[in-house]
Amino acid sequence: MNRRNTPTKEAVLSLLSSSKKALSQDAIERQLDIKINRATIYRVLNRFCEDDLVHRIVAEDGKQYFAICKKCEPSEKTKYHFHFRCLSCDTIECLKIPVQYSIPEGYEVQNANCVLTGTCNDCSL
């Protein structure tokens, strides 16, 4: 399935690139200059995830948030990192903290979704 370049794709990727926070579909739709259909945004995002351009975070609110993988090297060591959700400013950000665990025998980990919740630095003043 070959990918095609479209204004929609570029707009969403550009927005994610310039954002310091992970964004939900909702937030993306609101922040975009052009009007893009909801289903389309989801499809674009899902494609980005498939292509490992973007990673998906599921927060405690059950919603999906998307963030660009800038420094997310697929190096086995720092494969997964924590995310932080601030209950005060309601933003989700990537923390440069590797997820460490020792999995029991026989288990195989394919993905990790780790979200810490609380108050961020900006809001704790």
Partner DNA sequence: CGTATTATTGCAACATAATCGCAATAAAAT
Partner DNA sequence: ATTTTATTGCGATTATGTTGCAATAATACG
Binding residues for Zn(2+): 86, 89, 120, 123
By CB under 8 A, residue 50 contacts a copy of itself: no
Between the CA of residue 11 and those of 33, 113, 115, 119, what are the distances in Å?
A: 8, 26, 27, 31
Q: Which does 17 bind (CB under 5 to 8 A by kind): a copy of itself, Mn ion, DNA, none?
A: none
By CB under 5 A, residue 112 contacts Zn ion: no
The C-alpha angle 65, 13, 27, rounded to 5 degrees, equals 40
By CB under 8 A, residue 113 contacts a copy of itself: yes
Q: Which does 18 bind (CB under 5 to 8 A by kind): a copy of itself, Mn ion, DNA, none?
A: none
Give the separation between CA 123 and CA 46, rounded to whole angstroms.
31
Q: Which does 4 bind (CB under 5 to 8 A by kind): Zn ion, a copy of itself, DNA, none?
A: DNA
By CB under 5 A, residue 88 contacts Zn ion: yes
Give the separation between CA 112 and CA 76, rounded to whole angstroms.
13
Instruction: With CA atoms as reference, report the closest residue to 24 among 15, 52, 110.
Output: 15
Residues that bind Zn ion (CB under 5 A): 86, 88-89, 120, 123
